[in-house]
């Protein structure tokens, strides 16, 4: 069983690390996070995402391809349009965790500033 120190993490092959890294990489672009955020609200077509995000159609389409390949976004054809939706609820958990991470760091930095407010 586990002894006192941190439970030993399971071994991880290079291939597994590469796959995990690829998924984090899919979440490492602001525009892709913006698209995911918009999709958490409701399903949208590619065109709607382009307009709502303020980015070009080609660019949005390419970023959506990355998210689709990462298993985070799904699509279905509806007439001419491509309707996009969040395919994996884990995406929201990941982003929430990261937001929490960020918030913690910001508040700790704010505290540090409060101790020395000469800037």
Partner DNA sequence: TCACTATATTCTCATATAGTAATAAATCAA
Partner DNA sequence: TTGATTTATTACTATATGAGAATATAGTGA
Chain residues binding a second copy by CB under 8 A are: 5-6, 8-9, 12, 14, 16-25, 27-30, 32-34, 37, 40-42, 71, 88, 90, 93-95, 97-102, 104-105
> What's the closest the beta carbon of residue 35 comes to a second copy, in angstroms?
10
CB 88: neighbour CB atoms within 10 A? 15
For residue 3, give the 3-state DSSP assignment: coil
Q: Which of 8, 12, 80, 119 binds DNA (CB under 7 A)?
A: 80
Listed residue (72, 80, 92) closest to 47, CA to CA: 80
DSSP H helical ranges for the chain? 14-26, 30-41, 46-53, 57-69, 90-115
Q: Which residues bind DNA (CB under 7 A)?
A: 25, 29-32, 45-48, 50, 55-59, 61-66, 75, 77, 79-82
């Amino acid at each position: 069983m586990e002894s006192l120190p941190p439970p030993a993490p399971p071994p991880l092959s290079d291939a597994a690390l590469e796959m995990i890294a690829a998924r984090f990489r899919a979440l490492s672009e602001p525009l892709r996070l913006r698209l995911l955020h918009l999709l958490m609200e409701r399903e949208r077509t590619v065109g709607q995402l382009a307009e709502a995000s303020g980015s070009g159609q080609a660019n949005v389409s390419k970023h959506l391809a990355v998210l689709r390949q990462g298993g985070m976004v799904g699509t279905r054809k509806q007439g001419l349009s491509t309707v996009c939706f969040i395919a994996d609820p884990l995406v929201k958990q990941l982003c929430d965790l990261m937001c929490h991470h960020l918030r913690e760091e910001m508040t700790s930095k704010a505290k540090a500033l409060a101790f020395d407010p000469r800037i």
